[in-house]
Structure 1
Amino acid sequence: MTNTAYGLPTKLLVSLSIGVIVTVATSATYLYYKYWKQDPIPEEWQSVGTLEILEFYPLKSGAPLELAKGTQLDCDVLGLRLEGIRDRSLMLVDIDNVMLTARGYPNMVLIKSKLITPTKLEINAPDMEKLELDFSKLTKDAPRIDIHTAVFGAKVDAMVCGEKYDKWFSRYILNKEIGVKLVYYPYPKATKPIEKYIANETYMMKEDTTGTFNDATSYMLMNLSSIGDLNKRLPGPVNPIQFRGDFYLRMDKDEPYVEDAFDWIRIGNKAVFRKVAPCRRCILPNINVDTAERDAENNPLKTLKTYRCFNNNPHPVIGIHMGLRQPGKVKRGDMLLLLL
C-alpha cells in the first residue's frame, strides 16, 4: 500500500509515532527515577573540606545562638536542633500578623540568645533587660494555632508565645508597648508550601524541605572560598555570617563557586543532604551584624549583582539550599564530603 498522510507513507508515520512514544516514555522514566523516586543514599564519598563555621538561629533575623566549642547539633527534617531549641522556630510579626525581619528592622540582628537549660533560652538586646523563654512551657499542652501568617508569600500557621514577650520585642523593635508579637512554630514536620521561585528552579525540592520559618529551605550552605573571592572585589570585606547560612565550608582547595555544581553532600559521619536550589540573595547581607548598620554602598549585594546573576533573574546567587536526606549530628570541624 502507498496511502499517505501529510505527504508521508502510512508505515513511516506509524514508525515515527512509535518512536515518539518510546522517547517520551523513556524520558518520563528517567525523570521519575532521577527526581521523583526516593533516591538511594550514596555509598562512596570524597572529602573536600571541613565545616569551619556552624550557625544556628532560634529567632528568625536574630543573632546566632552562642555555641560552646565542640557542641553537636542534630539535623532533622525541620532543620538544626540543640536539645529543645530549634533553628528559626521563633519569628516576629506585626499587629496584622505580617512577618518582620531585619530587612525592615536592622536592629533585629543584635538580638542575642544563649542556652540556659535544654529547653530554655536567655534573650538579650542592647539597652534591654534579659528575657527568658522556656520552650517546654510553650508546648506542654497540645499545640494551638493562634494566627495565620506567611514567609514571603508561603502561608504558615503559628502559635503566639505570650504578652510579656510581645511587650519586650515591641519596646526593642518599635520603642512602643505594643505592635510586635513573638510567634512559635509548634509542628513536628514542615507545613510551609514550597516557594514558587524555588519550585521553578529544581526538581529536587520536596514538601518536607521547607523547614520552620526559614526563607526557603531548612538548610543553607556557604563556601568560604566564594566569600573570599567576593571580598577581593569589595571595598571592605564582609563578615561571612552576614549571609546567615547554617554551614560554612572551608575547602581543601580554594575553589570559589564550586558549590554551584554540588549534588549529594555529607557532613560528619551520618548527616546527608542534597542540593535543591541555588540561594538567591536579597538586601539582608548588606546589614553589618555587629552594628546593625546598612552598607552605604549597598554591598555586598551591589557587587554580587555585577557577576552572579543568572537566567535573567535580578537576584544574585551565592550559596546553596539543601534538603535533608538522612538525619545525623554535626559539629564544627566535621569533614564535608561529596558523592564520588
Structure 2
Amino acid sequence: MANAANELPTKLLVRLSIGVGITAATSATYFYYKYRKQDPMPEEWLSVGTLEMLEIFPLKSGAPLELPDDTQLECEELGLRYQGVRDRALMLVDIDNMMITARGYPKMVLIKSKLITPTTLEINAPAMETLDLDFSKLAKEAPGIDIHTAVFGAKVDAMVCGEKYDKWFSRYILNRESGLRLVYYPYPKAAKPIDKDIANEPYIKKEDTGAFNDATSYMLMNLSSIDDLNKRLPSPVNPKQFRGNFYLKMVKDEPYAEDAYEWIKIGNEAVFRKVAPCRRCILPNINVDTGERDAENNPLKTLKTYRSFNKNPSPVLGINMGLRQPGKVKCGDTIYISLKK
C-alpha cells in the first residue's frame, strides 16, 4: 500500500507547505510587534534608590578606571564613555587570537589605569613599569593589522595596538616577551553578534552587545542582593568582584528585586531596558585586591545553591541592560524603574 502522503496531489502539498510557511511568518511577525516593536518607553517612574558606585573598565578583565569624585560618564550605544575612554574597548588575545581574561589569568584584575589626558591612559600593574596608551594616536601608530577573534563564540574583528603593548602585557601575565597581543575595538557602533545564550530574549537588540563586553553594554547590580549573598558566605565578598557598571543602593532593602525590573532610568536622561539576567561564571571568585581565586569556589558555589533557575547551572545575579536613551550619569543619581501597568 502506498504511503498516504504520496497519494496527495502535488498542488495540495504545495498549498499545505505555503500554509505552514505563512503560519510561521505570521507567528514571527506577531512576536516582533508584540515584544520588540510595541515596547514603548514608560512615562511614569518610581524611585528605588541611588547610584552608589559607577565603574568603567578600559581593559576587559582589568581593574576599573580610577575616576575623580562626582565624575559624569556618558551612556552611549557601545557602553560607558569617559572622555576618550570607552568601557571594555581593549582586550587581550593569545597567539591564536583567542580572548584572554581573568578567568584563566586572575592577576589581570590588578591591572590598573587612570586618565592623564582626555585620550591617554596610564596603565600600571604590580612590579611593572608604567605604560602609556593614547587612543587618539592608535589609529596612526598601530600596525594597521586587524584580526578575527570572538567573545564567548560571538565573532568580532579587532585592531592590533602594537608591539610595545604586546611585550608589556606578555611580561606581566606570562613572564615572557611575547605570547599576548593587546587589541582594541575600532568601530563606532556595535558589531559583535548577540550572545547565543541570550539571543532568544524578547527585548535584546543588536545594538545592545557593546564592544568586548560578555553579553551587553551595561550591567546593573543591586547592593541589597550582594548583602544578602554575603550573609550566606563564610567570608563576605567585595561587590566590585561582580564587575557591574551600576551599583544600586536601595531606599528600602529588597534583595533580588532587580529580577523583576523592566525599564530603568538613571538620573534625568539615561534610560535602559532590562534584556537578560546576568548569569555568573568563576570571575566573581577572584579577589580584586589580591588577584587570587577563592579556594572554596565562592561566591559562585553558594550562588548555585539558591540562584540557579530553569535547570541552567549558571546562577543569576544582576541584570544585563540595553541603552534606549543616551545621557550622562554620576554617582548619587536617583535610579528609577518603570511603574507596573
Counterpart position of 1:17: none
d(CA) in 2 for partners of 1:34, 1:48: 28
User: Given the alignment of the two structures, is residue 175 of structure 1 paired with residue 175 of structure 2, yes or no?
Assistant: yes
Distance between the aligned counterparts of 1:218 and 1:266, measured in 2?
A: 15
Give the distance between the partners of 1:24 and 1:126, measured in 2 at CA.
Answer: 58
- Paired with 1:182 and 1:38, the residues of 2 have a C-alpha distance of 41
User: Structure 1 26/181 Cα, relative in aligned 2: closer, same or farther at 3 Å?
Assistant: closer
- 1:99 maps to 99
Amino acid at match of 2:97: N
Residues 142, 161 of structure 2: 8 Å contact kept: no
> C-alpha displacement at 1:317, in angstroms?
0.2
Percent identity over paired residues: 79
Distance 2:149 2:216 in 1: 17
- Give yes or no for contact 1:279–1:321 (8 Å, CA) kept in 2: yes
Which position in structure 2 is the counterpart of 1:273?
Answer: 272
- Deviation of 1:227 after TM superposition, in Å, equals 0.2
1:287 alignment counterpart: 286
* AA at the equivalent of 1:264: W
Aligned counterpart, 1:82:
82
More displaced, 222-231 or 139-148? 139-148
Give yes or no for contact 1:79–1:211 (8 Å, CA) kept in 2: yes
Find the aligned partners of 2:129 and 2:307 in 1 and give their Cα distance: 42
Q: Deviations over 1:297-320 (max 9, x none)?
A: 000000000000000000000000
Q: How many Å separate the matches in 2 of 1:96 and 1:217? A: 25
| Mapping for residues 155-174 of structure 1, pairs under 5 Å | 155-174=155-174
After superposition, residues 186-201 of structure 1 pair within 5 angstroms as: 186-200=186-200
Kindly provide the CA deviation profile for residues 245-293 of structure 1, in whole angstroms up to 9, marking residues without a partner as x: 0000001111000100000100000000000000000000000000011
Shift of 1:141: 8.5
Question: How many residue pairs end up in the alignment?
Answer: 317
Match of residue 3 from structure 1: none
Equivalent residue for 1:228?
A: 227
Cα gap change, 1:190 to 1:220, in 2 (>3 Å) = same
Structure 1 residue matching 2:172: 3-state secondary structure: helix
Report the Cα offset of residue 143 of structure 1. Answer: 11
SS at match of 1:291: coil
**TM score, norm. by length of structure 2:** 0.90
Q: Check conservation: 1:223, 1:248, Cα contact below 8 A.
A: yes
1:123-170 deviation per Cα after TM superposition (whole angstroms, max 9, x unaligned): 000000000000000135999551000001110100000000000000
SS at match of 2:207: helix
Q: Which amino acid aligns with 1:230?
A: L
User: Against the structure 1 CA distance between its residues 197 and 179, is the aligned structure 2 distance closer, same or farther, given a 3 Å change threshold?
Assistant: same
**1:116–1:333: structure 2 CA closer, same or farther, 3 Å change rule?**
same
CA change 1:152–1:27 in 2 (3 A) is closer
* 1:243-254 matched pairs, under 5 angstroms: 243-254=242-253
SS in 2 for 1:197: coil
Describe the superposition over 1:215-267 as per-residue Cα deviations: whole angstroms up to 9, x where unpaired: 01000000000000000000010000100000000011110001000001000
In 2: Cα distance, 1:121 partner to 1:288 partner: 24
Q: CA deviation at 1:28?
A: 6.5
Amino acid at match of 1:43: E
- AA aligned to 1:158 is A
Aligned partner of 2:62 in structure 1 is 62
**Does structure 2 conserve the Cα–Cα contact (< 8 Å) formed by 1:221 and 1:247?**
yes
SS at match of 1:299: coil
1:327 deviates by 0.2
**Which whole-Å CA distance do the structure 2 matches of 1:26 and 1:108 have between them?**
49
Find the aligned partners of 1:84 and 1:263 in 2 and give their Cα distance. Answer: 31
CA displacement at 1:41 relative to structure 2: 2.2
| Distance change (3 Å), C-alpha of 1:298 and 1:48 | same
Residue pairs, 1:111-190, within 5 angstroms: 111-140=111-140, 144=144, 146-190=146-190
In structure 1, what is the Cα distance between the partners aligned to 2:143 and 2:205?
A: 25
For the residue of structure 2 that corresponds to 1:139, the secondary structure is: helix
Which residue number corresponds to residue 4 of structure 1?
Answer: none
Q: Output the CA distance in 2 between the equivalents of 1:280 and 1:119.
A: 33
Normalised to the residue count of structure 1, the TM-score between the two structures is 0.90
Q: Is the 8 A contact 1:309 1:315 kept in 2?
A: yes
Query: Which residue of structure 2 aligns with residue 211 of structure 1?
Result: 210
The answer as to whether partners of 1:145 and 1:157 remain within 8 angstroms in 2 is no
Q: Please list every run of 5 or more consecutive structure 1 residues that lacks an aligned counterpart in the other structure.
A: 1-22
